[in-house]
């Protein structure tokens, strides 16, 4: 479905309100025409020195149309903006809802700044589509229809001239603007998005930029992006000014043409002299309805460019589609079996080849191997971020593909090497795992993660703000928050993806001691490069180039003198 049609379809819930706004917009212009016509007639009639009674209706009319114009304009702006903001609100929520199933598989090629620009900037751009693109043409048609009905009573030539003026200003001029500004809307949207994306990435990487002394390089790039955006905005402003000047020329040319046709009609008595100025001003004020149309073409181009970016993202097929129409009762214990699973990323070749293992309640399984061996991919498959291509994964004997991905993820707790800490309090970051948890459950998780002493020493305790991505926390404290989340969620399966990476040996040992408590009674899968963490594992799988090359207990693998033994000896050998 084309973006224009899809944007129109979004009007469905509010179309009566938008139609009311269009009617109010037309009434606003009608009131303005009435004000100008009545004022001109009043001045012209007063010059003939009639009695005040003959002018009383016109005097009241001037007051009425003056007040009505203000009231109608206020109501039109209020109602149209309210309806538009409701549409944009639904669009933002729907966009985010559609975005969630795409993560992380379908969002890897997008920068975080691009996503932010789409959610905020592109949706905001669509405001002009509903306010400046759809309503003005309808209002112009209604205004022109009213004028033609009046003027054709006096002269078909007058009606034809007004029609020609509206045609030039409302169709020919917009087409000319479209040709002059061809591609300008798309370029403007792209330039604005590029600047926002780069700024966001620069702010997020400010520490690294300063550390490597790249401030001037990034500042130069920002200047170039900003200058490009300013040039595009300047071009749009020039087109707008040119459009306004040509619109005024057409309006004034039509006005002079109307006077040229009216004066002979006044001389012949077909039109009373007091109506000469009134009819001329009626034409001039009616152009308020048609002058916005040339720039409506630009707003339409800009809105469609923003819509295409949005729809391109949300129309991407999810890597894993919701499945499982049957009811799935979440078990207190879970057994996950991976049987002959193979997987490959698009264009990157096979990552996993016929991997098999099982996670039973209380069983601890470790995955080790060189970087790129496919260890993290296994966690992604267990969480149903991607769909397996061959083989089978079962949960308590049931095929994964028959269970809704969200139901699967509710059975897993994850402590990863890149724990994201939100810019909120410690309490809010932990409650992310179970928002409905009470204070007793929360404090039990805090104590279980050994965070109680740390938080007790903070001025605001658990309500202490941690900054953007937990900048106020150390690496160990961040991991303890992740452990507290896992404890609070209290799921039967635990996934540990390099939980001690980047930590000093003492902190890493403390974290693993805490995790050891967390693993009790749970099916656990541990990914690590530190082989001292796997001594107590029930089973160790050694992955190399996507295949399990060795498996067994710690002692068995050491005795086999294979890859595991070589990696162990390398870690135990001090550097010269």
Helix or strand (DSSP H, E) at 337: strand 336-345
Please tell me the predicted confidence (pLDDT) of residue 248.
Answer: 93
Interatomic CA distance for residues 534 and 492, integer angstroms: 20
Q: Which two tokens stand for residue 356?
A: 């098999």
Interatomic CA distance for residues 103 and 495, integer angstroms: 18
**Eight-state DSSP code of residue 110:** S
Closest CA to 305 of 189, 448, 195: 189
Query: How many Cβ atoms from other residues are within 10 Å of residue 102's Cβ?
Result: 18
Query: How many Cβ atoms from other residues are within 10 Å of residue 123's Cβ?
Result: 19
With a CB cutoff of 8 Å and minimum separation 6, the contacts of 70 are: none
Please tell me the predicted confidence (pLDDT) of residue 62.
Answer: 92
Tokens 């109010």 locate to: 24
Cβ pair 531, 368 in contact under 8 A: yes
Tokens 């089978």 locate to: 392
Closest CA to 247 of 147, 302, 177, 142: 177
Please tell me the predicted confidence (pLDDT) of residue 54.
Answer: 84
Burial 295-311 (b: 16+ CB within 10 A, else e): bbbbbbbbbbbbbebbb
Closest CA to 99 of 107, 110, 108: 107
Interatomic CA distance for residues 384 and 404, integer angstroms: 9
Phi/psi at 211 (nearest 5 deg)?
A: -65, -35
Cα separation of the two ends of the chain: 65
Interatomic CA distance for residues 91 and 85, integer angstroms: 10
Cβ pair 126, 88 in contact under 8 A: yes
Interatomic CA distance for residues 442 and 450, integer angstroms: 12
To the nearest 10°, the Cα dihedral for 537, 539, 542, 546? -120
Interatomic CA distance for residues 285 and 296, integer angstroms: 19
With a CB cutoff of 8 Å and minimum separation 6, the contacts of 155 are: 261, 265, 270
Angle at 112 between CA 318 and CA 204, to 5 degrees: 155
Answer left, alpha or beta for residue 552, where phi above 0 means left and psi between -120 and 50 means alpha.
left
Most distant pair of Cα atoms in the chain: their distance: 120
Alpha helices in 181-269 (DSSP H): 184-204, 206-211, 215-268
Query: How many Cβ atoms from other residues are within 10 Å of residue 232's Cβ?
Result: 18
Q: Which two tokens stand for residue 383?
A: 């969480």
Closest CA to 122 of 193, 184, 185: 193
Per-residue model confidence as pLDDT tens for the chain (576 residues): 588 888 888 888 888 999 999 999 999 999 999 999 999 999 988 888 888 888 888 899 999 999 999 999 999 999 999 999 888 888 888 887 777 777 666 666 666 666 777 777 788 888 889 888 999 999 999 999 999 998 888 889 999 999 999 999 999 999 998 888 887 778 888 888 888 878 877 877 777 788 777 788 888 988 999 999 999 889 888 988 999 999 999 999 999 999 999 999 898 888 888 889 999 999 999 999 999 999 888 888 888 888 888 888 777 776 676 665 455 666 778 889 999 998 887 766 778 889 999 999 989 999 988 877 788 888 888 988 888 878 999 998 888 888 888 888 888 988 887 788 888 899 999 999 889 988 999 998 888 888 888 888 888 889 999 887 787 888 888 888 888 888 888 889 999 888 877 777 787 788 888 888 788 888 999 998 888 888 888 999 998 888 888 999 988 888 888 888 888 888 776 544
110: preceding bond cis by omega (within 30 degrees):
no
Please tell me the predicted confidence (pLDDT) of residue 576.
Answer: 47
Closest CA to 486 of 444, 528, 454: 444
Cβ pair 334, 398 in contact under 8 A: no
Phi/psi at 323 (nearest 5 deg)?
A: -145, 175
What proportions of the chain, in percent to the nearest 5, are helix, strand and coil?
A: 65, 10, 25
Which domains can be identified in the chain, with CATH numbers? 3-314 (1.20.1560.10), 329-411+491-576 (3.40.50.300), 421-489 (3.40.50.300)
Alpha helices in 472-544 (DSSP H): 475-489, 505-519
For 27, half-sphere exposure in the C-beta direction (CA atoms, 13 angstrom radius) is: 18
Global pTM value: 0.73
What are the DSSP calls for 33-61, one per residue? HHHHHHHHHHHHHHTT---HHHHHHHHHH
Q: How far is CA 443 from CA 154, 414, 448, 449, 466, in A?
A: 86, 20, 8, 10, 18
Cβ pair 383, 421 in contact under 8 A: no
Phi/psi at 308 (nearest 5 deg)?
A: -60, -40
Residue 541 pairs with which residues in a beta bridge?
367, 551
Cβ pair 157, 263 in contact under 8 A: no
Angle at 252 between CA 247 and CA 253, to 5 degrees: 95
């Amino acid at each position: 479905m084309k973006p224009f049609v899809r944007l129109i379809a979004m009007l469905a819930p509010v179309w009566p309100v938008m139609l009311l706004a269009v009617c109010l917009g037309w009434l606003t212009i009608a009131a303005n025409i009435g004000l100008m016509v009545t004022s001109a007639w009043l001045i012209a009639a007063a010059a003939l020195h009639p009695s005040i009674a003959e002018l009383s209706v016109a005097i009241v009319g001037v007051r009425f149309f003056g007040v009505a114009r203000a009231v109608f304009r206020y109501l039109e702006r209020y109602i149209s903006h309210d309806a538009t903001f409701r549409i944009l609100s639904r669009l933002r929520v729907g966009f985010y809802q559609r975005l969630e199933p795409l993560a992380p598989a379908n969002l890897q090629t997008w920068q975080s700044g691009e996503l932010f620009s789409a959610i905020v900037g592109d949706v905001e751009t669509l405001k002009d589509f509903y306010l400046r693109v759809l309503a003005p043409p309808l209002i112009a048609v209604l205004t022109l229809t009213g004028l033609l009905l009046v003027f054709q009573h006096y002269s078909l030539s007058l009606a034809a001239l007004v029609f020609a003026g509206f045609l030039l200003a409302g169709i020919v001029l917009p087409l000319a603007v479209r040709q002059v500004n061809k591609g300008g809307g798309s370029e403007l949207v792209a330039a604005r998005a590029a600047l926002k994306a780069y700024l966001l990435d620069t702010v997020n990487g400010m520490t690294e930029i300063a550390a490597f002394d790249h401030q001037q390089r990034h500042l130069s790039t920002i200047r170039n992006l900003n200058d490009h955006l300013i040039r595009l905005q300047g071009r749009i402003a020039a087109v707008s000014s040119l459009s306004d000047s040509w619109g005024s020329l057409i309006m004034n040319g039509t006005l002079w043409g109307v006077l040229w046709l009216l004066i002979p009609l006044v001389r012949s008595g077909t039109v009373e002299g007091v109506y000469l100025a009134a009819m001329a001003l009626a034409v001039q004020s009616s152009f308020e309805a048609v002058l916005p149309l040339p720039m409506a073409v630009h707003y339409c181009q800009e809105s469609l460019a923003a819509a295409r970016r949005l729809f391109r993202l949300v129309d991407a097929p999810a890597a894993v589609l919701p499945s499982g129409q049957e009811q799935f009762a979440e078990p207190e214990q879970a057994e996950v079996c991976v049987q002959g699973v193979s997987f490959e990323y698009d264009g990157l070749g096979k990552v996993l080849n016929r991997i098999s293992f099982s996670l039973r309640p209380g069983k601890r399984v470790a995955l080790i191997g060189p970087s790129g061996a496919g260890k993290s991919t296994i966690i992604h498959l267990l969480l149903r971020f991607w769909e397996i291509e061959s083989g089978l994964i079962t949960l308590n004997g049931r095929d994964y593909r028959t269970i809704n991905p969200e139901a699967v993820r509710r059975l897993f707790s994850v402590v990863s090497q890149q724990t994201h800490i939100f810019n909120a309090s410690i309490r809010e970051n932990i409650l992310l795992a179970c928002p409905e948890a009470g204070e007793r459950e929360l404090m039990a998780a805090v104590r279980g993660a050994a965070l109680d002493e740390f938080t007790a020493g903070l001025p605001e305790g658990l309500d202490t703000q941690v900054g953007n991505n937990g900048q106020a926390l150390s690496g160990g404290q961040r991991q303890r928050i992740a452990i507290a989340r896992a404890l609070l969620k209290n799921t039967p399966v635990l996934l540990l993806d390099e939980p001690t990476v980047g930590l000093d040996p003492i902190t890493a040992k403390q974290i693993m001691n805490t995790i050891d408590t967390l693993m009790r009674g749970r099916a656990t899968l541990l990914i690590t490069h530190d082989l001292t963490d796997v001594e107590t594992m029930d089973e160790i799988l050694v992955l190399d180039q996507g295949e399990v090359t060795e498996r067994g207990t710690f002692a068995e693998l050491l005795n086999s003198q294979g890859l595991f033994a070589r990696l162990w000896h390398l870690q135990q050998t001090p550097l010269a």
